[in-house]
Structure 1
Amino acid sequence: MASSPDITALLGDWSRGDRTALNQLLSLVYAELRRAAARQLRRERPDHTLQPTALVHEVYIRLVDQRQVDWQNRAHFFGVAAQVMRRVLVDHARRHDAIKRGDGVRCVSIDEAKDAAAPNEIPILALDQALERLEQVDASLARIVELRAFGGLTIDEAAHVLAVSPSTVSRDWRTARAWLRRELGSEPHP
Structure 2
Amino acid sequence: MDKQGVTKLLVRLKEGEQEVYDQLYPLIYEELRDIAYAHMSRQSADHTLSKTELVHETYLKLINQSQIDFTDKSHFLAIASRCMRQILVDYARKKHAKKRGGKKQDITYIDEIFEKQDKKAQELINIDNALDQLEELNERLSKVVEMRFFGEMTIEQTAKALDISESTVKRDWMKARGWLYKKLKERFDIQ
Q: Distance in 2 between matches of 1:4 and 1:107?
A: 52
Q: CA deviation at 1:137?
A: 1.7
1:180 aligns with 2:180: yes
Q: Distance in 2 between matches of 1:68 and 1:155?
A: 27
TM-score (norm 2): 0.82
Q: For 1:136-165, what per-residue CA distance to the aligned partner results, in whole angstroms no more than 9, with x for missing partners?
A: 221111111111222221221111111112
Q: For 1:83-112, what per-residue CA distance to the aligned partner results, in whole angstroms no more than 9, with x for missing partners?
A: 211111111111111211479x9634xxx9
Q: CA deviation at 1:17?
A: 4.2
- Residue 163 of structure 2 aligns to which amino acid in structure 1? A
Matches within 5 A, 1:91-106: 91-101=90-100
Distance 1:176 1:102, change over 3 A: farther
Q: Distance in 2 between matches of 1:154 and 1:121?
A: 26
- Residue 60 of structure 1 aligns to which amino acid in structure 2? Y
Structure 1 vs Structure 2 CA RMSD: 2.9
2:96–2:121 contact (8 Å) kept in structure 1: no
- Residue 45 of structure 2 aligns to which amino acid in structure 1? P
Q: Distance in 1 between matches of 2:141 and 2:20?
A: 33
Matches within 5 A, 1:155-170: 155-170=155-170
Aligned length: 182
- Residue 108 of structure 2 aligns to which amino acid in structure 1? C
Residue in 2 that maps onto 1:146:
146
Matches within 5 A, 1:30-45: 30-45=29-44
1:85 aligns with 2:84: yes
SS at match of 2:152: coil
Q: Distance in 1 between matches of 2:107 and 2:162?
A: 44
Distance 1:120 1:20, change over 3 A: closer
SS at match of 2:80: helix
Range with bigger deviation, 132-141 or 65-74 = 65-74
2:159–2:166 contact (8 Å) kept in structure 1: yes
Range with bigger deviation, 35-44 or 74-83 = 74-83
SS at match of 1:123: helix
Distance 1:164 1:184, change over 3 A: same
1:23 aligns with 2:25: no
Residue in 2 that maps onto 1:107:
108
Q: CA deviation at 1:26?
A: 0.8
Residue in 2 that maps onto 1:7:
6
Q: Distance in 2 between matches of 1:72 and 1:106?
A: 52
Aligned-pair identity in percent equals 38
SS at match of 2:65: coil
Distance 1:70 1:133, change over 3 A: closer
Q: CA deviation at 1:70?
A: 4.7
Gaps in structure 2 of 5+ consecutive residues:
none
Q: CA deviation at 1:122?
A: 7.8
